[in-house]
Copies of this chain bind each other. A is one copy, B any other.
Amino acid sequence: VPKASAAILLGDLCLVWSDLMLARSGLAPEALARAASGYGEMRAELMAGQYLDLLEQALGGRDLERALRVARYKSAKYTIERPLHLGGRLAGASPAVLDAYTGYGIPLGEAFQLRDDVLGVFGDPATTGKPAGDDLREGKRTALVAIALQSATPDQAALVRRRLGDPALDDAGVAELRAVIEQTGALAAVEALIDDRVTSALAALDTPVVAAPAREVLTALAAAATCRDV
């Protein structure tokens, strides 16, 4: 059996099994009906985000806004905002609570993806569990790379074009690319973006519609999802 065909079917089967788990969860029909539309939208947004990501890689992106849009669809909405909406809708939360979750989830999700981008380049293999500079070898077009390319000298840009995405990139090559990302100010800029977004996310929780226990858990999640040491 061709492996790619079997893999596609397995992916579809997992998608369908997750539907069955929700359908058979024992939740009330009314709760499931409230959640169904947002659940489907979450998945449609993910497909769109994956497509934007493919497009960005194909374009060899150096556009920060586009890189952040990919992060919004692939990570922010799918990983944080929409799951909170799902839980909220199942529990019958008011629109004001769902709005607060959006205000928290979108910036935190972007910060989570930006932290992942930083760890993919500068992360310690002992804590990330991935080889050092993995994203560099894979040639991922992240916000970090977009900012570095925008601020690079011609020599630095040529180095990035030559080595980024080289599967044979060794430790010395990783160190060279890391140096460009630091010297262009891209690392500092991304750290500032992360701080800014975490601040926005936490501010969105500062409303009486979010109950105190939820605020406590979500504050801890914001720290866990964006901290420097994985």
Contact = CB atoms under 8 A, between A and B. Distances in A.
Contact-residue size bin, chain A (C-beta under 8 Å from the other chain) = 35 or more
A51 B8 CA distance: 10
A13 B44 CA distance: 6
Given A15-B15, A32-B29, A1 B40 contact: no
Contacts of A19: 19, 36, 39-40, 43
Contacts of A24: 37
Copy number of this protein in the oligomer? 2
A6 B44 contact: no
A11 B15 CA distance: 12
A63 to B, nearest CB: 16
A230 interface: no
A207 B50 CA distance: 51
Interface string A22-59: 01100001101100110111011001101100110010
B12 A12 contact: yes
A4 B2 CA distance: 14
B40 A16 contact: yes
A5 B54 contact: yes
A58 B3 CA distance: 11
A188 interface: no
B47 A13 contact: yes
The 7 closest A-B pairs by CB, nearest first: A29-B33, A23-B36, A20-B40, A29-B29, A16-B43, A13-B47, A1-B54
Given A19-B19, A29-B32, A29-B33, 14 more contacts: A1-B51, A1-B54, A1-B55, A2-B58, A6-B54, A8-B8, A8-B11, A9-B54, A10-B47, A12-B15, A20-B41, A23-B36, A29-B29, A33-B33
